[in-house]
A and B are shown apart, each in its own frame.
Chain A
Amino acid sequence: AQSVTQLDSQVPVFEEAPVELRCNYSSSVSVYLFWYVQYPNQGLQLLLKYLSGSTLVKGINGFEAEFNKSQTSFHLRKPSVHISDTAEYFCAVSDVGFQKLVFGTGTRLLVSP
């Protein structure tokens, strides 16, 4: 079975600063990895996904993530955040059979002026 750990429950950052949201996963088989964003009172939207190939994945809104198999990590990064990036971010994993996703507990990104 897969599991996901998001160590940071909340990350405060100033506008235009870089940010990294950490995600580590556990699995005995090959995996697919995802990042989702949830704005207040909304559902989740897909930011980016890693299925295979290049370990650096680019997503929407200037976000990117790097898959590191040896460290079982899939950290999310953005070089310069905006106020509008304030949201909750969820990392998720599935096995390559992709019947279901397992989500982490989420990281709340708080961007202040």
Chain B
Amino acid sequence: NAGVTQTPKFRVLKTGQSMTLLCAQDMNHEYMYWYRQDPGMGLRLIHYSVGEGTTAKGEVPDGYNVSRLKKQNFLLGLESAAPSQTSVYFCASSQQGAGGYTFGSGTRLTVV
């Protein structure tokens, strides 16, 4: 089925460890996004991309890096994980215009 796939679905990290979250979409969407969801705070934009090879900072970019080397993939990296990065991370994609987002099912990350 067409959509947005996030891997992994769950991960536990120790403080200071690094990891990469992968987002893949097969809808040929131009735009891709990484959000984090925390209780009572809704979804906050970390980074986004409006096309292959481009990235931009969102509302809460500190501690994260991203890359969009291929149009269908958007990677989110944590270089040195901190407990404050414990969250549920959602990837989304959209076509140009205002069609709305298609979301992945999320990655639940715990940093201990």
B103, A105: Cβ atoms under 8 Å?
no
What residue of chain A has the Cβ atom nearest to residue B3's Cβ?
A43
Partner of B42, one of A41, A45, A105: A105
Known: A100-B48, A103-B42, A105-B41. A42 touches B105 (CB 8 A): yes
Q: How many residues of B contact A (CB 8 A)?
A: 25
| 0 or 1 for each of A68-104: is its CB under 8 Å from B? (1 = yes) | 0000000000000000000000100010101111111
Is A25 engaged at the interface, CB distance under 8 Å to the other chain?
no
- Report Cα–Cα, A101/B45, bound state, in Å: 8
What residue of chain A has the Cβ atom nearest to residue B59's Cβ?
A102
Collect the chain B residues with CB atoms within 8 Å of residue A7's CB: none
Q: For chain A, which range describes its interface: under 10, 10 to 19, 20 to 34, or 35 or more residues?
A: 20 to 34
What residue of chain A has the Cβ atom nearest to residue B4's Cβ?
A43
Stretch binding the partner chain, chosen from B11-19, B68-76, B79-87, B94-102:
B94-102
Is A32 engaged at the interface, CB distance under 8 Å to the other chain?
yes
B50, A99: Cβ atoms under 8 Å?
yes
- Report Cα–Cα, A42/B4, bound state, in Å: 13
Name A's interface SS: loop
Q: Which of B30-54 contact A (CB under 8 A)?
A: 31, 33, 35, 40-45, 48, 50
Is B77 engaged at the interface, CB distance under 8 Å to the other chain?
no
What residue of chain B has the Cβ atom nearest to residue A50's Cβ?
B98
- Minimum CB–CB distance from B76 to chain A (whole Å) comes to 15
Is B61 engaged at the interface, CB distance under 8 Å to the other chain?
no
Collect the chain A residues with CB atoms within 8 Å of residue B90's CB: 43-44
Give chain B's interface residues, CB within 8 Å of chain A: 4, 31, 33, 35, 40-45, 48, 50, 58, 90, 92, 94, 96-98, 100-101, 103-106
Give chain A's interface residues, CB within 8 Å of chain B: 6, 9, 32, 34, 36, 41-46, 49, 51, 90, 94, 96, 98-106
